[in-house]
Amino acid sequence: MPTTRPRSGHSARIASSELTPQSVWLRRREFVLAGLAAGLLPGVLRAAPDGAGLSYTRNARYGAGETPNSYEDITTYNNFYEFGTGKEDPARRAGRFRPAPWSLRIEGEADRTGVFALEDILRPHPLEERVYRLRCVEAWSMVVPWVGFPLADLLRRFAPTSRAKYVAFTTAAIPEQMPGLAYRVLDWPYVEGLRIDEAMHPLAFVATGLYGQPLPNQNGAPLRLVLPWKYGFKSIKSIVAIRFTATQPPTSWNRAAPREYGFYANVNPAVDHPRWSQARERRIGAGVFGARRPTLAFNGYAEEVASLYAGMDLRRHF
């Protein structure tokens, strides 16, 4: 949780290879094979093994060169304060959350605004799988095989006007389904924002699934952002509204603690959090010896995104 120090020693708890469901283990093996084939077969259509999953193509460009965390790690060690502040609260307490039926409100500086059913939002977008690193501001990290589509492809459909300089996102706030809303840890609903060029960047992704399955509630069903070069708190979950704005929108963590959490929140080993170092991180599930590793500038995506911030003082715009 961003207001406190990360708990240490968690990686010792996840000696979870034995706990990994067999179907997931089989998928991990498939991953290795897919990784080997990726150079030869970019964009092979792959359906999830049990038939209940999503149909998607694998985008070989975003393989992260790393083994994904287990399904177990990704779905039981979460930050989703609307369900509580403990890492295991979202998995335990999101069962009552209903991600369907769902609609998305599109507002602000765009030609096409209104309320759209989720099915209409999703229909035109072919799904792809991208394996991205996820780096939380608390200094832990994971590798996640997301399924979804580029955020730019969604935003363009609403024809933002030339006045749209930023995009603001809002999470659902349904007290009967989200028990964490009873605690004023944040000013609900959770809100986030991006500069429009960040939102339109090819790495910015809308996830509707992971490991070939629809997103579990605790990971932000039915749709969330994934911004792999930024601290995880920018990757807002369970989105109900998107607003195009002329001015920089407020964001939840920046509003709660402006000296600790900036608007940009780009992963940066050279700029420490006021209460802990960002120079290194702890990879969840990597065992006692593999866990600690150096943090990479822009979480390893500098080549793709650094130009977005050319000329900016990244200590001031942290």
Chain residues binding ligand MTE by CB under 6 A are 2, 78-82, 134, 136, 171, 190, 219, 232-233, 235-237
Q: How far is the CB of 260 from ligand MTE (least distance, A)?
A: 12
Q: What are phi and psi of 197, to 5 degrees?
A: -70, -30
Q: How far is the CB of 37 from ligand MTE (least distance, A)?
A: 27
Report whether 297 contacts 229 (CB < 8 A).
Answer: no
Q: Is 271 helix (H, G, I), strand (E, B) or coil?
A: coil
Smaller CB separation from ligand MTE, 190 or 205 = 190
Q: What are phi and psi of 64, to 5 degrees?
A: 65, -10
Q: How far is the CB of 219 from ligand MTE (least distance, A)?
A: 4
Report whether 3 contacts 274 (CB < 8 A).
Answer: no
Smaller CB separation from ligand MTE, 6 or 165 = 6
Q: How far is the CB of 207 from ligand MTE (least distance, A)?
A: 9
Q: C-alpha angle 99/104/110, rounded to 5°? A: 165
DSSP string across 139-198: SEEEEEEEEEEEHHHHHHTT-B-TT--EEEEEE---TTT-GGGGSTTS-SSPEEEEEHHH
**Residue number, nearest CB to ligand MTE:** 232
Smaller CB separation from ligand MTE, 116 or 146 = 146
Smaller CB separation from ligand MTE, 82 or 109 = 82
Smaller CB separation from ligand MTE, 38 or 265 = 265
Q: How far is the CB of 80 from ligand MTE (least distance, A)?
A: 5
Give the residue among 37, 60, 68 at the shortest CA–CA distance from 134.
68
Q: How far is the CB of 172 from ligand MTE (least distance, A)?
A: 8
Element (DSSP H or E) covering residue 76: helix 71-76
Q: How far apart are CA 56 and CA 54, in angstroms?
A: 6
Smaller CB separation from ligand MTE, 78 or 177 = 78
